[in-house]
Amino acid sequence: MKEKIKNFLDTDLLEKYLLETTSTEETLKVERYITMHPEVRNTYNELQENLEVYAKLHALETPEGLKDKVLYRIKQEGKAKGKFFKYAIAASIAAFIFAGSSLFFYNQNQRLEDEKTMVTNQIKDLEMDMKVQLEDLRNQYIVLNNPNTKKFQVMGNKKAKELKAVAYVNPVKQLSYINVHNLPQLPEDQCYQMWAEVNGKMVNLGIIKQFDNKEQLLALPYADHAVSYITIEQQGGNTTPTVQNIVANISY
């Protein structure tokens, strides 16, 4: 045991402990030795007394007014820190408000840009629709008033005896239209659908509805010796014609 205590005292742990430079682990070790071993405790007390004597011998007289100067400096720094803290808070609030307003205006501008793009696209779509409609009206006028236009009466077969329509074909302008005057009533789960045979392929021309305007024309794709059909399909239409449900043939 004495050898262990001697080895401990040979180290500089007591001196380091007095100067408060030991690590946590070293501090615990020193305090344990001081508590458990009188020799170590006595050595520690002697070192502590020697340190106090040394400190007194080498102590410097405090300059006159130093205390007041230190206190004044502390107060000034406290005020400065208080002002700085206030300014920091104000700056933080201002920055927060600025960031919030910037985000708000950014979102507003982004929303306006999106709305502008949407409106622009809608205008373009409307312009395109109007252009198509005007073109269609022009073609209808040509077909109805051009002397080269030929008219074909279209009658329904046994499945649609009341079906009546007129096909207008202008081989010079290569335009074709059909005017459906009358469509027999169908059950709610069925509809009329028009087709055209173009270059050996069946083209879906869409569902035919009962029109309020009996003079309305539907465009047909033009082709030499073209053939169109009207069929009865399930409500919503079909992707291919149901041949057994053909109710009218239009040859032109």
- In terms of domains, do 244 and 155 share one? yes
Helix axes 2-10, 38-57, angle to 10 degrees: 20
CATH code for the domain in which residue 187 is found: 2.60.40
Mean pLDDT of the chain: 75
DSSP 3-state percent helix, strand, coil across the chain (nearest 5): 55, 20, 25
- Percent of the chain having pLDDT more than 90? 0
**Is the same domain home to 228 and 187?**
yes
Over range 118-137, report the average pLDDT: 75
Is the domain of 209 the same as that of 245?
A: yes
Q: How many domains, in total, are found in the chain?
A: 3
Each residue of 170-208: pLDDT tens digit?
Answer: 888 888 888 887 888 888 888 888 888 877 788 888 888
Is the domain of 52 the same as that of 87?
no
Whether 175 and 85 share a structural domain: no
On whether both 156 and 208 belong to a single domain, the answer is yes
Q: Which of 113, 145, 177 is the last residue of a domain?
A: 145
pLDDT in tens, 5-38: 888 888 888 878 877 888 888 899 888 888 888 8
Classify residue 65: in a domain, yes or no. Answer: no
> Which stretch of DSSP H or E encloses residue 201?
strand 201-208
Question: Is 42's pLDDT higher than 80?
Answer: yes
Contact 221, 203 (CB under 8 A): yes
Give the DSSP letter string of 129-147.
HHHHHHHHHHHHHHHHH-T
Both 119 and 190 in one domain: the answer is: no
Q: What is the pTM of this model?
A: 0.46
Tell me, yes or no, whether 63 lies in a domain: no
The answer to whether residues 50 and 102 belong to one domain is no
64 falls within a domain:
no
Domain that holds residue 133: 72-145
